[in-house]
């Protein structure tokens, strides 16, 4: 073992010794803009790991919510009528869940509310819930209600206003979580001189669940790593406090130094797609735009509509959506693993790991990536036995989050992948290519 290998092993050993054996809180995230546009009420939304459900109901009311209210007050709504939901995709602060037909913004007004059923979270021992309300323009506000009766908003739990108690986007730890089966969001009434009041339940609702990831020997080293979209966004920054110099600007040119795309050498490039492609290079400007992409909501999965070079956001007109995002994330996870550039462990041949459950059980990660890339290039999901793009996006997300890296002291194995070899010293590094193959 050379001096560099010995130094690396000592660093990893030091980090592994501090790894905890106690259970960790796992954070689950829900987005609400897929499906997009008009959505029949009720609709069930799965978290990004496709495990737990939040069911949303839309309603309009005979009477508006009160102009002023105190915690514990009850809203006397009069007659309540079901109303279609709306999955809205716009800027990051204008993407989430609203209501159809009430206004041009497709948002929640004062004589309406969106109610979320928390029963799946409560029955599965979740310990907290953070809701994000956005599109709160100056003079507007929102109410958060708690109830054990579907269709009845119940008692006031919290409220927010702009500019009195916050800005355009406000995060609310839901009070008395677990006491109420349902929570609801409504806008405060219009107050002169303002002419509108409407808000949105923003993407990014989170809840924590205590999870026992299994007994981990604190001396065990070389635990595998994958990064989610959110992880790549966090560790793009070279000034983050967990990964010195970040994961992107210095390591991308190494990870993709020997990259090839359908037999054509493409050093220092990342390319996905086929007829149309998305391309990033190792230049600072291109990587900056890739970091921006990781920070954006990605919209519905779809095939690419045209080729893109270093996009900082994917619009519906571009196609791709979350399918493109998760395909890019998986390619980066494989490339960084193959070139032994991951934190905690240099990396494994992730493309040789196999899927443990679901529609693609028994397939290698390489096979799943190639299918995702083919669908991005224009193949129909049904060609591979999948009902829609969303199912494929969910499979990719589960792969990318299976060994999610949060910090050096936290290890998750969510059981979606089966390694092709025991954990231990890394194999020789090698470059990744599209189509992807298992091993060098």
Q: How many helices (H) and strands (E) does the chain have?
A: 8, 23
Neighbours of 13 (CB within 10 A): 12
- Of 91, 130, 93, 133, the C-alpha closest to 113 is 133
- What is the number of structural domains in the chain? 2
Report the relative pairing of strands 170-173 and 96-99 from DSSP bridges: unpaired
Packed helices 321-338 and 229-236: angle between N→C axes, nearest 10 degrees: 60
The candidate with the shortest Cα–Cα distance to 75, out of 146, 155, 150, is 155
Residues 204 and 338 in one domain: no
pLDDT range class, residue 244, cuts 50, 70, 90: confident
pLDDT (tens digit, 9 = 90+) per residue, 336-390?
999 999 988 889 999 999 999 889 999 999 999 999 999 999 999 999 999 999 9
CA–CA separation, 433 vs 120, rounded Å? Answer: 41
The pLDDT score that the predictor gives to residue 18 is 37
Q: Is 440 a member of any domain?
A: no
233 located within any domain: yes
> 408-421: per-residue pLDDT in tens?
888 889 999 999 99
Rg, the chain, Cα only? 23
Mean pLDDT, residues 315-326 taken together: 95
Does a structural domain hold residue 421?
yes
Judged by average pLDDT, the poorest of 117-126, 203-212, 328-337 is: 203-212
pLDDT at 12 over 60: no
Do 326 and 267 lie in a common domain? yes
- In terms of DSSP bridges, do strands 155-161 and 141-147 run parallel, antiparallel, or are they unpaired? antiparallel
Using the CB atoms, write b or e for 349-368: b if 16+ within 10 Å. bbbbbbbeeeebeebbbbbb
Among the three residues 167, 191, 211, which one is the final residue of a domain in this structure?
211
Over 60: is that where the pLDDT of 226 sits?
yes
**264-265 and 155-161: which strand pairing?**
unpaired
Q: What percent of the chain has pLDDT over 90?
A: 65
Q: Say if residues 96 and 202 touch (Cβ distance below 8 Å).
A: yes
Domain end position, chosen among 188, 211, 234: 211
Per-residue pLDDT, averaged over 2-15, amounts to 38
Percent of the chain scoring above 70 in pLDDT:
90
Residue 165 confidence (pLDDT) = 52
Asked whether 300 and 326 are in contact (CB, 8 A), the reply is no
pLDDT at residue 14 is higher than 60: no
Residue 277 pLDDT > 90, yes or no?
A: yes
Average pLDDT of the chain is: 87
Residue 140 sits in a domain whose CATH number is 2.60.120
Stretch 190-201: mean pLDDT, rounded? 82
- 287 and 179 share a domain? no
183 and 296 in a common domain: no
CA–CA dist 149, 183 (Å, integer): 10
pLDDT of residue 63 exceeding 90: yes
The answer on pLDDT for 35 being more than 60 is yes
Full domain range(s) for residue 227: 3-23+218-434
The answer to whether residues 29 and 177 belong to one domain is yes
- Note whether 239 and 272 are same-domain residues: yes
Answer whether residue 439 is part of any domain.
no
Listed in sequence order, the DSSP H helices in 238-352 are: 252-255, 284-294, 321-338
83-136-93-28 Cα dihedral, nearest 10 degrees: -70
Flag whether the pTM goes above 0.85. Answer: no
The mean per-residue pLDDT over the stretch 147-151 comes to 92
- Are residues 151 and 226 both part of a single domain? no
Q: What is the DSSP letter of 8?
A: H
> Are 198 and 342 in a shared domain?
no
Domain boundary among 211, 235, 257: 211
Domain annotation covers residue 285: yes
Does residue 233 share a domain with residue 201? no
What sign does the dihedral 341-346-352-354 (CA atoms) show? negative
Torsion of CA 58, 61, 64, 65, to 10 degrees: -60
For residue 6, pLDDT beyond 50:
no
For residues 248 and 94, give the distance between their C-alpha atoms in angstroms, rounded to a whole number: 28
Q: Are residues 56 and 171 in the same domain?
A: yes
315 and 426 in a common domain: yes
Are 108 and 94 in a shared domain?
yes
- DSSP assignment of 209-223, as one string? EEE------TT----
* Residue range 221-242: mean pLDDT, rounded: 89
The pLDDT of residue 352: 96
Q: Is 75 helix (H, G, I), strand (E, B) or coil?
A: coil
């Amino acid at each position: 073992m050379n001096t560099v290998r010995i130094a690396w092993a000592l660093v990893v050993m030091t980090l592994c010794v501090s790894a905890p054996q106690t259970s960790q809180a796992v954070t689950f995230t829900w987005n609400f803009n897929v499906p997009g546009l008009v959505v029949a009420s009720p609709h069930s939304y799965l978290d990004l790991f496709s495990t737990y459900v939040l069911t949303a109901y839309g309603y309009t009311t005979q009477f508006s919510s009160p102009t002023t209210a105190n915690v514990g007050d009850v809203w006397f709504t009069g007659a309540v009528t079901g109303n279609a939901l709306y999955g809205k995709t716009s800027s990051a602060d204008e993407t989430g869940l609203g209501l159809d037909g009430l206004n041009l913004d497709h948002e929640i007004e004062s004589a309406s509310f969106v109610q979320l059923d928390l029963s799946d979270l409560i029955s599965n021992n979740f310990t907290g819930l953070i809701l994000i309300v956005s599109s709160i323009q100056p003079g507007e506000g929102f109410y958060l209600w708690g109830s054990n009766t579907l269709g009845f908003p119940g008692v006031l739990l919290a409220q927010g206003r702009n500019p009195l108690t916050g800005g355009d986007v406000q995060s609310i730890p839901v009070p008395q979580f677990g006491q109420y089966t349902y929570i609801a969001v409504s806008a405060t009434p219009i107050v002169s001189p303002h002419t509108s009041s409407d808000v949105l339940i923003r993407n990014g609702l989170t809840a924590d669940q205590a999870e026992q990831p299994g007994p981990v020997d604190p001396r065990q080293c070389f635990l595998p790593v994958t990064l989610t979209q959110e992880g790549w966004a966090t560790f793009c920054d070279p000034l983050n406090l967990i990964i010195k110099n970040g994961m992107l600007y210095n390591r991308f040119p190494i990870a993709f130094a020997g990259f090839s795309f359908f037999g054509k050498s493409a050093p220092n490039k990342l390319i996905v797609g086929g007829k149309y492609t998305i391309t990033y290079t190792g230049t600072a400007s291109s990587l900056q735009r890739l970091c921006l992409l990781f920070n954006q909501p990605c919209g519905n999965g779809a095939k690419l509509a045209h080729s893109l070079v270093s996009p900082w956001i994917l619009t519906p007109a571009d196609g791709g959506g979350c399918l493109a995002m998760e395909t890019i994330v998986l390619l980066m996870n494989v490339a960084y693993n193959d070139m032994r550039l991951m934190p905690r462990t240099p990396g494994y041949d992730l493309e040789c790991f196999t899927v443990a459950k679901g529609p693609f059980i028994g397939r290698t990660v390489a096979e799943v990536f190639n299918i995702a890339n083919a669908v991005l290039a224009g193949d129909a999901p049904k060609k591979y036995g999948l009902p829609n793009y969303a199912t494929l996006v969910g499979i990719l997300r589960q792969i990318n989050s299976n060994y999610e890296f949060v910090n050096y002291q936290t290890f998750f194995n969510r059981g979606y992948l089966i390694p092709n070899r025991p954990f231990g010293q890394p194999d020789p590094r090698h470059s990744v290519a599209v189509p992807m193959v298992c091993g060098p």
